[in-house]
Amino acid sequence: MKYNHILLAVEKAIAHIVLNRPKVLNALNREMVSELHDAVRQITADGAIRVLVISGSEKNFAAGADIAPMADLAPAQASEFCFNRAFNALEDLPIPVIAAISGYALGGGLELALACDFRICSEDAKLGSPEIKLGIFPGAGGTQRLPKLVGISRAKEMIFLGRNIDARTALEYGLCDKVVQGDPLPEALALAEQLADRPAAALQSAKRVINYGAGRDLRTGIEFEEERWTDLFTTEDQKEGMKAFLEKRKPNFKGK
Ligand code: COA
List, run by run, the mean pLDDT of 10-residue segments along the chain (256 residues): 93 96 96 97 95 94 95 92 95 98 98 98 98 97 97 98 98 98 97 96 97 95 97 96 96 92
Pocket probe mutation, ligand 1, options 19, 21, 24, max atoms within 8 Å of Cβ = 24
Contacts of 39 (CB under 8 A, 6+ apart): 1, 3, 6, 8, 15, 17
In the chain, what is the greatest distance between 2 CA atoms, to the nearest angstrom? 66
* Cα distance between residue 100 and residue 119, in whole Å: 6
Residue 99 near residue 120, CB atoms below 8 Å: yes
Ligand 1 atom closest to 104 (CA): 34
Element (H, E) at 133: none
Beta strands 178-180 and 118-122, pairing class: parallel
Contacts of 25 (CB under 8 A, 6+ apart): 59, 60, 62, 63, 103, 104
What pLDDT is recorded for position 128? 98
What pLDDT is recorded for position 101? 98
* Cα distance between residue 175 and residue 51, in whole Å: 20
What pLDDT is recorded for position 51? 98
What pLDDT is recorded for position 58? 78
What pLDDT is recorded for position 98? 98
* Cα distance between residue 93 and residue 44, in whole Å: 6
What pLDDT is recorded for position 2? 84
Ligand 1 center–CA 106 separation, angstroms: 10
What pLDDT is recorded for position 57? 85
Rg (CA), the chain: 19
φ/ψ of residue 154, rounded to 5: -65, -40
Residues labelled catalytic? 111, 131
What pLDDT is recorded for position 200? 95
**For ligand 1, which residues put their CB under 6 angstroms from it?**
24-25, 27, 63-68, 104, 106-108, 130-131, 134
Beta strands 6-11 and 14-19, pairing class: antiparallel
